[in-house]
Amino acid sequence: MNAGKSTALLQTNHNFIENNLKTLVFIPQLDDSSISKIVSRIGIEVDAIPANSNFNFYKYTKLEDTKEIKSIFIDEVQFLKKDQIDQLSKIADNLNIPVMCYGLRTNFMGELFEGSDRLLSIADNLHEIKTICSYCTRKATMVIKINSEGKAETQGAEIKIGGNDLYKSVCRKHFRKLTKLV
């Protein structure tokens, strides 16, 4: 699943690096696979600090030279826990470092992810990265998970990181048609 958000993250991060501005880049770590790179479809990649569910973003960042860090970037932010999103807001408020989060709003069942739920509640700004439906030209706002028989799944575990080929961005009309969940 890739709506171009990793590309957007990498481009913005690159703008900072190009101007010799220090950033921190994080990616949630869901299992032992320890993915610690963010790779975009257009070939840019950057090393990211892996953050598991016990990782404390505020404590980690506070130990850094916080005056030097000009921005923090997080990919796949939907996978963070509610309290981790709150830690990010403390970084913005207490350490005065902007935190830019990139992620999906809902899972393949059309439900908010825990991290996205909290983020939508407390974020200062929201920007929608627009992409089109895999089946028509409407704006894609939902995600479906395709199983081995080519059918849309309506239950099971939430998205796994890096599962590019199993997930498709779709409009709500096609989400309804394919999952009957709306």
Please count the helices (runs of H) and the strands (runs of E) in the chain: 5, 8
State the burial class of residue 126 (Cβ atoms within 10 Å of its Cβ: 0-12, 13-18, 19+): exposed
Closest among 133, 168, 4 to 75, alpha carbons compared: 4
Q: Which residue is nearest to Zn ion (CB)?
A: 133
80 C-beta neighbours (distance < 10 Å), count: 27
**Identity of the residue, 58 or 135, whose beta carbon is nearer to Zn ion in the bound complex:** 135
In the complex, least distance from residue 177 CB atom to Zn ion, rounded to whole angstroms: 8
The structure tokens listed for 153 are 């799944």
Catalytic residue among 76, 111, 153, 158: 76
In the complex, least distance from residue 138 CB atom to Zn ion, rounded to whole angstroms: 5
In the complex, least distance from residue 113 CB atom to Zn ion, rounded to whole angstroms: 22
Active site includes 114? no
Q: How far apart are CA 149 and CA 62, in angstroms?
A: 48
> Sign of the CA dihedral 128, 130, 133, 137?
positive
Collect contacts of 61-68 with beta carbons under 8 A, ≥24 apart: 61/24, 61/91, 61/95, 61/97, 62/95, 64/24, 65/22, 66/95, 66/96, 66/97, 68/22
**Identity of the residue, 61 or 141, whose beta carbon is nearer to Zn ion in the bound complex:** 141
Q: Which residues bind Zn ion (CB under 5 A)?
A: 133, 135-136, 138, 171, 174
**Identity of the residue, 137 or 148, whose beta carbon is nearer to Zn ion in the bound complex:** 137
**Identity of the residue, 82 or 138, whose beta carbon is nearer to Zn ion in the bound complex:** 138
User: Which residues are known catalytic residues?
Assistant: 76
